[in-house]
């Protein structure tokens, strides 16, 4: 709901799943696709956002068991714009054999164990496209429009008991605690927040920024020989030193690459709101590795910091650097070799992803990990088939185990950072 898409309605705690989206022309809302403002007041959730000149205010109110009121207001900034609509999506496996009926003011969906009805307050241009339904609300000639619908949901709810078994003879990986993201962004408020967290919480892991674009803004410069550091670079290193002095492992992550490191020819991943999707120049990876390794070396020799691990922030979607899964695997392999050559102990994160379920992004790297383990015949290698079998079934448990086995590799060994689940998974010394 925070990005405007409704993902379902709960009935006695069970999710009756479907998805909505706001649409202007061919653009639809979705996670990380636009900037939005979210607010909750009692039983009402409200989202405000703008797509291609059309401003939306969507309110969803819980009105009772299996019932909700949906209200969407749309207002165009220009006299000419593309049409806007509400999209209803029933593409999950739940609705594979569902019957979907539409009329001028109603959408009715019925499957073997689900029943959803959307009743609109006025006739709307409703069209069905497979298991998707388009409800037009603002024509290209209109300046504003309001769409209201009452949603009712019913279905089979599983009320059976849930039983959990624990085998205390086989403890899992060690849970080290909660980590904190200490990237400096707000000079006015950051110091007080940082002091409060470090003085009142047991922070088990710290994460800081490598301000790469400020560390080496020009390709020809040698950043380790500069006489005076950029102010933000200096502050970031001081932040890292403070965390390291407290005894916690410190992760180093990069968001903003310098212009010289970017691929200015290919444009495979167009930028969108909040997602820069900047591609690195694959012909300059040696120079890129040197620049990053110089920073890690500088931090060790000048500030006494041995970073635990390095990552590009959410590089599966591009905030801001973006990799394909194969490029990500290659970077881990080659940058790890660069760090090993310098005698640095810094590892590379395998799962600094946009979500804890984006498994496909890490598969190539994981495959290399298991291949290397097989080649070296490490005692833990017998478990790698179980690792592969766990993919998609128990991904968080799998993350922890993957980190444990990967730690036996060469210095490019990878750990896993499940930030979206508020835990650091599987870091074993």
| C-beta of residue 147 within 8 angstroms of C-beta of residue 86 | yes
Q: Six-digit token pair at 175?
A: 């849970």
Would you state the pLDDT for residue 332? 93
| C-beta of residue 352 within 8 angstroms of C-beta of residue 417 | yes
Which residue ranges form the domains of the chain, and what is each CATH number? 4-153 (2.70.98.50), 176-380 (3.20.20.80)
Would you state the pLDDT for residue 405? 28
Rounded to whole angstroms, the Cα distance separating 162 from 197 reads 37
Phi-psi region of 66 (alpha: psi -120 to 50; beta: other; left: phi over 0): left
pLDDT means per 10 residues in the chain (429 residues)? 84 93 92 86 95 94 96 88 92 90 96 95 90 93 94 94 90 86 93 95 95 97 94 98 97 97 86 82 97 98 97 94 95 94 93 84 84 46 45 36 30 34 30
CA dihedral in degrees (379, 382, 337, 323; nearest 10)?
A: -150
Spell out where 213-358 has E strands.
250-254, 278-279, 309-312, 321-322, 347-349
Q: Six-digit token pair at 126?
A: 């409703």
Rounded to whole angstroms, the Cα distance separating 302 from 300 reads 6
* pTM, rounded to two decimals: 0.66
Rounded to whole angstroms, the Cα distance separating 409 from 352 reads 19
φ/ψ of 419, rounded to 5, equals -65, -35
Would you state the pLDDT for residue 377? 39
Would you state the pLDDT for residue 383? 45
Return the SS3 of 132: strand
Would you state the pLDDT for residue 402? 34
Rounded to whole angstroms, the Cα distance separating 377 from 379 reads 6
């Amino acid at each position: 709901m925070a990005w405007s898409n409704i993902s379902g309605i709960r009935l006695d705690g069970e999710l009756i799943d479907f998805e909505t989206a706001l649409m202007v022309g061919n653009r639809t809302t979705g996670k990380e696709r636009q900037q939005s403002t979210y607010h909750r007041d009692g039983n009402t959730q409200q989202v405000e956002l703008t797509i291609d000149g059309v401003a939306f205010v969507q309110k969803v109110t819980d009105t009772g068991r299996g019932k909700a009121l949906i209200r969407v207001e749309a207002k165009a900034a220009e006299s000419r714009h593309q049409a806007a609509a509400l999209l209803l999506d029933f593409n999950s496996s739940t609705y594979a054999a569902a019957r979907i009926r539409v009329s001028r003011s109603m959408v009715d969906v019925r499957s073997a164990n689900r029943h959803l009805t959307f009743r609109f307050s006025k006739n709307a241009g409703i069209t069905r496209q497979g298991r998707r339904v388009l409800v037009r609300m603002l024509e290209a000639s209109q300046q504003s429009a309001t769409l209201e619908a009452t949603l009712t949901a019913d279905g089979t709810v599983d009320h059976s008991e849930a039983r959990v078994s624990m085998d205390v003879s086989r403890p899992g990986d060690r849970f080290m605690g909660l980590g904190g993201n200490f990237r400096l962004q707000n000079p006015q408020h950051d110091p007080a927040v940082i002091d409060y967290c470090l003085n009142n919480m047991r922070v088990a892991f710290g994460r800081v920024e490598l301000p790469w674009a400020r560390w080496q803004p020009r390709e020809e410069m040698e950043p380790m020989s500069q006489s005076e550091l950029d102010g933000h670079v200096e502050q970031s290193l001081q932040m890292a030193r403070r965390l390291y002095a407290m005894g916690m492992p410190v992760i180093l992550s990069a968001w903003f690459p310098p212009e010289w490191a970017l691929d200015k020819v290919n444009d495979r991943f167009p930028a969108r709101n909040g997602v820069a999707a900047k591609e690195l120049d694959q012909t300059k990876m040696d120079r890129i590795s040197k620049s990053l390794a110089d920073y890690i070396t500088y931090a060790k020799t000048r500030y006494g910091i041995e970073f635990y691990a390095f990552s590009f922030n959410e590089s599966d979607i591009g905030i801001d650097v973006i990799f394909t899964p194969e490029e990500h695997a290659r970077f881990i392999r080659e940058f790890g070799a660069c760090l090993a050559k310098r005698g640095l102990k810094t590892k590379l994160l395998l799962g600094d992803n946009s979500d804890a379920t984006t498994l496909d992004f890490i598969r190539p790297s994981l495959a290399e990990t298991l291949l290397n383990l097989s080649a070296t015949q490490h005692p833990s290698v017998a478990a790698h088939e179980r690792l592969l079998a766990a993919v998609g079934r128990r991904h968080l448990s799998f993350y922890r185990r993957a980190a444990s086995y990967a730690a036996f590799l060469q210095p490019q060994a990878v750990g896993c950072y499940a930030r979206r689940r508020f835990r650091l998974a599987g870091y074993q010394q």
